[in-house]
Amino acid sequence: MQPSGERVLFLTGRVATSDSTALPSDVLVERVCNAQVRQQVYATLHGDFSMPLGSTPNPVIDATADPGPQYGSPGNSSVTGIPRHELTNCELRASASGFRSSVVSLVDLDTFGGTVNVGAIVVERTAKIEGTTLSAVPYRAPSDARKAYEKGLEAEKNRKLAEARQHFEKAVEIYPKFAHAWYELGSVLQKQGVEDQARAAYTRATAIDTRFLPPYLSLASMAYEAQDWTEVVALTNHILELDPWNHRDFTGYMVDLDPLNYPEAYFYNAVANYELDRIDDAEKSALKAQHLDLRTNHPQLHLLMAEIFAKKKDYASAISELQTFLQLVPNTKQADQLQEQLTEWEKLKDSVSSNQKPDPQ
């Protein structure tokens, strides 16, 4: 178990139907704390979801924690979210018309770095669809492999990690090309603290299906924690290349790609490029994160943008970004340090302005 004071940045996982039929397009994943809904995010059409923590998402208020400072000085790549102990009275559930959801308690959830994979949230139809049977679509796995996979999801949901691991290992033994099972096996192994084996399972999933993006994100998170910035860029670039918002045909319509959208991939990419001194690339990804509203959910992106602008000697923009962060997080523990940074940038801005004034005639 990690220290209770550790901060959690993202909760990731997936929503799956109990009968393997397709999910509706508007599945919401809700974080409920003390019987109150604190945060909501939409799952993708494939059921994957990522819930950023640490500030005030819209439209559901999340005021559980001060997100804290992130980029007070160059090279400081630490990320803060919600302290682990503040999730002890929280649970995750899915909300969709016509479905009843299981509940994933966060009370005993182990953390591994800033991103925590909670496994699967299983939803059950309240009314049976006529003629539906257990299907391997979209995984195209044999029925025995699929059954082992479903048992693994159920065991993982119930926090029976050893049992879940056995079922997922059986699934990939029966059907070695079962990318989703390799991914879930990696998730379980990571929760068990077997990071090398988890990384191998995630990598196996990526080798099988390069368009199945969750394992890429998990690998990027692990590389981020290890500060392997080159690896973070490589993994997140793959995700961003398959982001459908980056792929429009000449008519302006979306190309037929998986409708997967991972704002934290842009965040990881921005941080890694910043650390590698690729400032233009860092700015591009950070601005994309802003477009996806991640900056509202994660004030630390204002600090990253402030550092980017400062490196480009655009001190007016850097000051604006830092002031915005301080407005969003007025009680940050490094407020004094950041105020000193503001004063320094004000002097630099004035110096640049003076040097640009024409000489009097």
Residue 304 token pair: 């990253």
Where residue 68 falls among pLDDT bands split at 50, 70, 90?
very low
Higher-confidence residue of 136 and 102: namely 102
Q: What is the pLDDT of residue 324?
A: 87
Give the position of tokens 């900056």.
295
Where residue 229 falls among pLDDT bands split at 50, 70, 90?
very high
Q: What is the pLDDT of residue 57?
A: 41
Go through the domains of the chain in sequence order and give each one's CATH number.
7-126+210-353 (1.25.40.10), 141-209 (1.25.40.10)
Task: Give the mean model confidence (pLDDT) for residues 329-345.
Answer: 89
Mean pLDDT across the chain, nearest whole number? 77
Point out the least confidently predicted range of 1-5, 147-151, 198-202: 1-5
Higher-confidence residue of 173 and 107: namely 173
Higher-confidence residue of 129 and 342: namely 342
Where residue 151 falls among pLDDT bands split at 50, 70, 90?
very high
Where residue 138 falls among pLDDT bands split at 50, 70, 90?
very low
Q: Over 60: is that where the pLDDT of 131 sits?
A: no
Residue 285 token pair: 């990804």
Among 260, 235, 234, 256, smallest CA distance to 247 is for: 256
Tell me, what amino acid is at 150?
E
Q: What is the pLDDT of residue 252?
A: 33
Point out the least confidently predicted range of 32-36, 156-160, 330-334, 355-359: 355-359
Instruction: List, as own/partner pairs, every contact residues 151-158 make where C-beta atoms lie below 8 angstroms and the sequence separation is at least 24, other chains included.
Output: 152/181, 152/184, 152/185, 152/188, 153/16, 153/119, 153/120, 153/122, 153/184, 154/122, 156/119, 156/120, 156/184, 156/187, 156/188, 157/102, 157/104, 157/119, 157/120, 157/121, 157/122
Segment 99-119, tens digit of pLDDT: 888 888 887 665 555 778 888
Where residue 237 falls among pLDDT bands split at 50, 70, 90?
very high
Q: Over 50: is that where the pLDDT of 72 sits?
A: no
Task: Give the mean model confidence (pLDDT) for residues 143-161.
Answer: 90
Between the CA of residue 198 and those of 50, 154, 345, 352, what are the distances in Å? 19, 19, 44, 51
Q: What is the pLDDT of residue 356?
A: 59
Cross-strand pairs, 103: 93
Cβ-proximal residues to 183 (8 Å cutoff; 6+ apart), any chain: 201, 202, 205, 212, 214, 215, 218
